[in-house]
A and B are shown apart, each in its own frame.
Chain A
């Protein structure tokens, strides 16, 4: 044995093969980090491809709609060359004609018209109709177009054309807030009988808050029971909580329909008991009440489970200690027990609130007219009216509202205190 392999105290520490220890350590750490990254890479890629990219693309549609601009090159150029406020002269109508002929060839008049129709109702057929006849029009085009349809002389239509010539627009956000533009391009409210989104957003918020409060109120005692009952009984109770949780959402919603409808089980029982008469059957579904009942039931496990996991960790000795020090049971609950459950209350409440804000199937099935939420409008524009830009704007706004509540929660409670189980 010699001292040759030992490092000299004065020089830098090296490994057995003579490399500086610091570098070797860094290298081995980097390898480990890479390996860790490889492990999360599939999940990361999955989230990126299946979640972030499509959502990003969808949200992008809320500010970008090239339905008109890509199909009307001549008009886009005309608007570029003539600043806002220029007179709509013969050259503009000539550009319009050449674009309409192009649209006719490429079958895109509908697409361009649809974009303008989002702004001014009734203008879609203006395009499809004019595209059919554009080729036969004789100069002067201005008179010819106005003779075809007087709307071609409407300054508001030209305002909409100019605005749609730029594919980037905030118009869909205006529409999502019950606003539109007038002839001069100034932002105004849409007529009262057409305002719907702000009201629905408000109702969505109110309903979500009510449902969250109900879930917490109902879930708290159950979670407490679960956490304090002896094992065997707690397991049984847990199964009662989890069974509906594992059952399909649609099955649970339709079961509520069977139970609550006016010829349903509950009403039949009331009539049989004589609580209400045959004519006095209570309308408990296809209205706001139906939405609240069904959604509270469906979302209840999302409050119970985090609450339970938090309550399970609270030693019963704390409350006993409080009691032995003279606190009444109410004081002991309020000052000792409740504060310790707050991370669970926060987590469960936030979870339910966020889920409730975006709920769609249940309100669609049991909500009737006054139990509808903003997500039903988003679905409507995705599936029926096919106005995806407006759907994207509404969805983006919903996302922002949820994020605001998330931020408020973080400020008040702190996100690091949240405990999901």
Chain B
């Protein structure tokens, strides 16, 4: 009995010791998490000896909120979208981040100037810029592949089903843009009743041809199965299908929807100090550039761009696939987190009512 007690105490003690050297990091899973594990987690563990538990979630903001609500926070870091980062920061769920902990660029430019505008928030620091784009199957669109969002809505010119994200956010912006609204005016228009009607009316023109998707892995699958000829989706996923799996996909960069993914640290994170260390480490110039070796999401630092070279296969040039490449930024629609924090409920209800009708 005594032996057992000693043994179990020892086990518990080592358990605690191990716990102090761990970080729980929640991200989106799939190829994206792989890129973070390779570019951030492994070198960080090598350098500091701190083990990183990578946890997948459909939307990492949900468990952060759930844990804060339940008063039992075990997440140290989460990778969330801009609107969720701002929302949760406003709600007091996140730790504030002092930008001075972020290392400067190799040439000495301070971090606050090195990051792209909006990438450093009160409680969040961006690691990537990503885009929701339209991809098509090259074998199904004839000799003149689609180049604009207008082509996506033109089922006469390109017959066949379309894949679209089942959510008001992104879908309604896309519809308004296709209807001729300039990217910078989209949120002004969408804020009015007429604007919402206009977006839904545009979607009505192809409603019967839409296959709705919800998870990021679905659009490349729908496209590969021949279920749709065009679909919107996350550019990194299409890249993985096109380059890593050799699928005959092409991308329409017109009207790409730009968003950040940012690191946030819950206010009551158990290992806040280590989490801050990890955050500073993973968003330095080299680490952000390294990530682009694994997935085609743009680094949030300007100084990283010069270091982005080839895909991990050693022959594919990454630049043409990057959403931040000037050649691809033809008419980007930048997400407006404040707008969505305000109108999320209302627009999703209208969108869902339209879907169900």
Q: List residues of chain A with CB under 8 Å of any chain B CB.
A: 106-111, 113-114, 117-118, 121-125, 128, 190, 193-196, 199-200, 203, 261-264, 286, 364, 368-370, 372, 377, 380, 382-388
Contacts and interface: CB of A to CB of B under 8 A. Distances in A.
A242 B167 CA distance: 37
B344 A369 contact: no
B90 A107 contact: yes
A372 B212 CA distance: 11
Name the residue in B226, B353, B354 with the highest tally of chain A Cβ atoms < 10 Å from its Cβ: B353
A123 B225 contact: no
Contacts of A193: 196-197, 350, 353-354
Interface string B218-251: 0000000111000000000000000000000000
Contact of A384 (B59, B207, B227): B59
A194 B92 contact: no
A26 B306 CA distance: 86
B156 to A, nearest CB: 15
Given A368-B211, A369-B355, A194 B90 contact: no
Contact of B92 (A106, A196, A262, A368): A106
Interface of B: 58-59, 61-62, 65, 69, 87-92, 161, 166-167, 191, 196-197, 207, 210-212, 214, 225-227, 338, 341-346, 348-350, 352-356
Name the residue in A194, A262, A263, A264 with the highest tally of chain B Cβ atoms < 10 Å from its Cβ: A194
B346 A110 contact: no
Contacts of B227: 261-263
A369 B207 CA distance: 9
Given A261-B227, A263-B225, A125 B352 contact: no
B90 A110 contact: yes
A125 B341 CA distance: 8
Nearest to B161: A262
A264 B211 CA distance: 15
Contacts, number: 104
A121 B92 contact: no
Nearest to A109: B90
A263 B229 CA distance: 12
Contact of B355 (A121, A263, A372): A372
Contact of A122 (B90, B167, B346, B352): B346
Interface pairs A-B: 8 shortest CB-CB: A110-B90, A121-B346, A107-B92, A263-B226, A110-B91, A196-B353, A111-B91, A369-B355
B90 A196 contact: no
Nearest to A120: B346
A382 B348 contact: no
Contacts of A263: 225-227
Contact of B356 (A107, A196, A384): A196
B59 A383 contact: yes
B342 A125 contact: yes
B212 A368 contact: yes
Nearest to B90: A110
B34 to A, nearest CB: 21
